[in-house]
Amino acid sequence: MSVDEKAGGPHSAMDEVTDQTNLRDDSLELARWLEESGRRKLKPGWLDGLSKPSQSSAPALAVKPKRITQPALLWLLAFVALSYMQFFLIDVQLTIVSMPRIIVFIAVPALTGT
């Protein structure tokens, strides 16, 4: 019993032949593409045009700092985070202090001097 039959579908010998044929076709197509790409010549100047932006597009590509990373906003966020943490810790401490006290008496046998 094959894996496909366990999964619910019959697996025939024809399916295996089709899979092998598709694999061969893909391999041949890849081999043809690699041969063709190996025959092509690299033009000397086309890569320079990709790596260096032109002078007219330089102002358009200027990077502006994102609003979230501005120092004043980062300080404000840090202050808010520390304030909330302090509020939370004080709230926890006040909750602990306001809990009712539990007084437990333990019976100790009396010591007699006999």
Exposure string for 63-87, b = 16+ CB within 10 A, e = fewer? eeeeeeeeeeeeeeeeeeeeeeeee
Please write the tens of the pLDDT for every residue from 38-81: 887 777 676 676 666 555 555 556 667 677 778 888 899 999 99
* 82-86 long-range Cβ contacts below 8 angstroms, 24+ apart: none
d(CA 41, CA 49): 17
Q: For the whole model, what pTM was predicted?
A: 0.32
- Runs of H (alpha helix) within 1-114: 3-7, 13-39, 46-51, 71-97
Higher pLDDT, 112 or 85: 85
